[in-house]
Amino acid sequence: MNALAATNRNFRQAARILGLDSKLEKSLLIPFREIKVECTIPKDDGTLVSYIGFRVQHDNSRGPMKGGIRYHPEVVDLLLPSGFAGAKMNTHSYSEDVDPDEVNALAQLMTWKTAVADIPYGGAKGGIGCTPKELSISELERLTRVFTQKIHDLIGVNTDVPAPDMGTNAQTMAWILDEYSKFHGYSPAVVTGKPTDLGGSLGREAATGRGVVYATEALLAEHGKSIKGLTFAIQGFGNVGSWAARLFHEKGGKVVAVSDITGAVRNPNGIDIQALLQHKDKTGKLADFDGADAMDSNDLLSHECDVLVPCALGGVLNRENAGDVRAKFIIEAANHPTDPDADEILSKMGVVILPDIYANAGGVTVSYFEWVQNIQGFMWDEDKVNNELKRYMTKAFHNIKGMCQLQDCNLRMGAFTLGVNRVARATLLRGWEA
């Protein structure tokens, strides 16, 4: 089952629990708008090349739409624009990596995620089909500016607020801000995840990983436990995984296993995360770290631990390996790491799963704080950002638990039911059939 099918299945189950009208249910699934544009730029060697840019805007009933812009390869038909007769045009194609169903699923998931976190946004997702590592900085800037020119009337402070995603970063957001401002005046709140010199929020880099830790604390407290003394296995050591590992370690947790695309390491007595981060920065890999033993990356999900934290790819827990999981708790820091078959198997095993729709909402929550700061023209210190993030994550967990008790369901369905209910109520109050 792909990401879109899994998201739709969870939505429909939540809609049945809530007793939503069938017409309203269908309306909530259909994206508000899907945008596809051609972006043609001159490369550094003088050739012209076209890329396809896209944006899925899912829902705006609770506020502006919000979601990442990713630069990743996909198959595109490169169209020769009119007016370029005789120009030298690069017509190579790209490998299929961006799945339209995945983009739709992530846009929809952001709608429910922002509703669960109770921040006034809807969901969106988009990007450009390209391979960033094959483009120079100047080519990336030209591509970003052309894309912004094509969609500037469809995004905005009160319409759709993009953020970084795969293959994009704070610099990409700075280019979008600058190009958008040429048409609409200086508008720092049009994107989030910006450099702090241009209105980016302190604490944004660590926000998703920190949110994962706050969510874990809330879940463990419900079970009479705390991070201190528990063991953690973390799959993925990028931004989210490394920050989560660092903060679990600082709070007295023992990170006993870590993996990423370069390999995996383990230490039953706990890994010195700061030393591992320094080793990774120096060598670019986890392998050959003196403070832990090498292990097979495929064994991480079944490694003995109290808390398993998948921070990398979707679908890593499935029917084939779910029965091997030895953790008591799973914190879904990645999007869609557990497929429906694994969900059912793990639930029967008594494993408590904290769903992605809530667990990784720290990033978009601090993006909301950045948006608020930009609109007010008043920036917060980092302690205020972190304190507000903890308050939002803790409150959201208690709201999810309340829905679980009301509807007699697990945390995943409690979160989906909470999010769908908030969006449905906003849609009805605004008069969706008018």
Q: Provide the annotated binding site.
A: 66, 113, 208, 239, 367
In whole angstroms, how far apart are CA 58 and each of 103, 109, 118, 121, 256?
A: 10, 9, 17, 11, 40
In this structure, what DSSP letter does residue 12 have?
Answer: H
> Whose CA is closest to 375, among 80, 156, 112, 114?
156
- At 264, list the tokens: 């995996």
User: Six-digit token pair at 373?
Assistant: 């700061």
Binding site listing for NAD(+): 208, 239
Among 88, 125, 150, 228, the active-site one is 125
Given a contact cutoff of 8 angstroms between Cβ atoms, the answer to whether 331 and 215 are in contact is yes
Query: Taken in order 392, 396, 398, 399, is the CA torsion positive or negative?
Result: positive
CA atoms within 13 A on the CB side of 213: 26
Q: Is 390 labeled as catalytic in the residue annotation?
A: no
* Radius of gyration over every alpha carbon of the chain, rounded to an integer in angstroms: 22
33-42 and 48-57: which strand pairing?
antiparallel
Identify whether the C-beta of residue 106 lies closer than 8 Å to the C-beta of residue 33. no
Binding site for substrate, residues? 66, 113, 367
Residues marked active site are found at: 125
